[in-house]
Amino acid sequence: MSTADKAQLRVGMVGYAFMGAAHSQAWRTVNRVFDLPAQVTMVAVAGRDRGKVTEAAERLGWAEAVTDWRELVSRDDIDLIDICTPGDSHETIALAALAAGKHVLCEKPLANNVAEARAMAQAAATARASGVRTMCGFNYRRVPAVALLRRLVEEGRLGDIRHVRATYLQDWITDPQFPLVWRLQKDLAGSGALGDIGAHIVDLTQYVTGQRIAGVSALTETFVKRRPLPSASAGLSASPAGDEAGAQTATGEVTVDDAALFLARLDGGAVATYEATRFATGRKNGLRVEINGSLGSAAFDLERLNELEFYDATVPATRQGFTRILVTEPDHPYLSAWWPPGHIIGYEHSFTHEMRDLIEAVAGGTDPRPSFDDALQVQLVLDAVERSAAAGSAWTTVDPA
C-alpha cells in the first residue's frame, strides 16, 4: 500500500527523556521497516521546559514542541497520546486522553499504585466501547527471542512448566553519592527496583508462560537511605548537585526499595523466584529468565538478546544438551523485516516492534496487548510484594483484578 493511500496515525508524546527517546526512535523507524496499514505522523512532544522540549523535538523528530500536555489531548490533529513521563502523572494524562477519545500508549509500570491502575483499566474499558485502544509499554515482550520463547511454550515444547527463575539486575545506584533522582522517590516513581525493573520480569514471565502470579512471599531492602539532591530532574546518568567547590550540600531521603526479592506460585502450577536490584555490581542491564518444564527448558538473557537457550528433554540422551538458537531467521518473530540471517538487532528494536503491533491493532480495530488490564494485574503483583515485605515476608495472595 502506498503511503498516500494509508490511514494516518497522528501521535503526540508526553515526556522526552530516556523512554521518550526510545519511543521516538521507534515512531521514526517503524513505517520504514514494516509494511503497516497506517502511517505515523509525529505531531508534537510535550514537556514543561520550553527550551528543553524545543531542543528535544528537533533532536527526536517531532514537528512541534508544546509546554502543556493538555494541549496535545485537546487537539483534533492528534489520534494517539504516548505517555513517557514518571509514574505520578500516568493516571491523570491517560484519563484525560481517553476522555478526549485518544488512543493511549503508556510506559510501564502502568501507575504508581493499584487504585490508579484500576482507574486507568476502568477508563480503558469504557473507551474501548467507542473503538479507543490502550496499551502498556512492556517492550521486552517484543524482543524476538522472548516471543520465540513464548511460541515454544505455546507449542508445548517445554511441557508442563515447573520452575520460573527471573532476575533483573542493574548497578547504577551502587555509589551512595549517586543523587536522589525521581526513580528513587516514591511520590514520583511509586516504588524502586520493584516497579521499574521488577515489573518487567513479572510481565515477561507471565507472558511467556501464560500463567499468572497468584501469591508471593517477599522482602525488600533500601541499602542507601539518604542521597545527595540532584542538580536537576535527571535520569539514569545524573550527577549530584554541589556547591561551587564541588562539595555536596543537601541530601534527601530515599523512599523506595533498592532491591526486591520474592518467591511466587503461578496459577498454572509453576513455582518461581524473582529478584530485582540496582545494586548488583557489574550487572548493567541483566534481565535473565529461565523456564524449566517437564519436556525441556529455555533461558533468555537480555545482554545476549539475539539468542535463546533451549534444552529438549525428548531427544535421545546421547544428543541432549542446551542449544543456543541464534534468533535472526526471517521465520523468527518480527525478523523478516530486518536483516539477512545472522545480522543481529538491539535494545531499540523492541520499541519498534511495540509500535508495529500497536499500529496494526489500532488500524485493524483490535485490542493491543499488554492491555491496561494486563498491566493492572502486574500492578496487583507489585502491591502484593510490598504488602508481603511489610509483613515480614508473610505469604500474600495477589488481589483479583
Chain residues binding ligand SOE by CB under 6 A are 19, 108, 139, 196-197, 200, 285
Element (H, E) at 116: helix 114-128
Q: Minimum distance between the CB of residue 268 and ligand SOE, rounded to whole angstroms?
A: 26
Q: Minimum distance between the CB of residue 96 and ligand SOE, rounded to whole angstroms?
A: 23
By beta-carbon proximity to ligand SOE, the closer residue of 161 and 302 is 302
By beta-carbon proximity to ligand SOE, the closer residue of 196 and 257 is 196
Q: Which residues pair with 163 in a beta bridge?
A: 271, 292
- Residues present in the chain in total: 401
Q: Minimum distance between the CB of residue 94 and ligand SOE, rounded to whole angstroms?
A: 17
Q: Which residues pair with 290 in a beta bridge?
A: 165, 299
Which has the closest alpha carbon to 121: 132, 108, 110, 113? 110
Q: In the chain, count H helices and then E strands.
A: 11, 17
Give the CA distances from residue 256 to residues 259, 260, 280, in Å, rounded to whole numbers and listed in that order.
9, 10, 17
By beta-carbon proximity to ligand SOE, the closer residue of 47 and 296 is 47
Asked, as a colleague might, if the bond just before 109 is cis with ω within 30 of 0, I would say: yes
Which has the closest alpha carbon to 73: 45, 96, 91? 96
Q: Minimum distance between the CB of residue 168 and ligand SOE, rounded to whole angstroms?
A: 8
By beta-carbon proximity to ligand SOE, the closer residue of 168 and 311 is 168
By beta-carbon proximity to ligand SOE, the closer residue of 161 and 197 is 197
By beta-carbon proximity to ligand SOE, the closer residue of 169 and 359 is 169
Amino acid at site 258:
D
By beta-carbon proximity to ligand SOE, the closer residue of 92 and 285 is 285
By beta-carbon proximity to ligand SOE, the closer residue of 50 and 284 is 284
Q: Minimum distance between the CB of residue 347 and ligand SOE, rounded to whole angstroms?
A: 9
Contact 166, 273 (CB under 8 A): yes
Q: Minimum distance between the CB of residue 40 and ligand SOE, rounded to whole angstroms?
A: 20
- Distance of alpha carbon 93 from alpha carbon 72, whole angstroms: 10
Q: Minimum distance between the CB of residue 249 and ligand SOE, rounded to whole angstroms?
A: 27
Give one DSSP letter per residue of 160-224, joined into a string.
SEEEEEEEEE--TT-STTS---GGG-HHHHSSSHIIIIIHHHHHHHHHHH---EEEEEEEEE-S-
Q: Which residues of 147-165 are buried (b: 16+ CB within 10 A; e: fewer)?
A: bbbbebbeeebbeebeebb
Q: Minimum distance between the CB of residue 241 and ligand SOE, rounded to whole angstroms?
A: 21
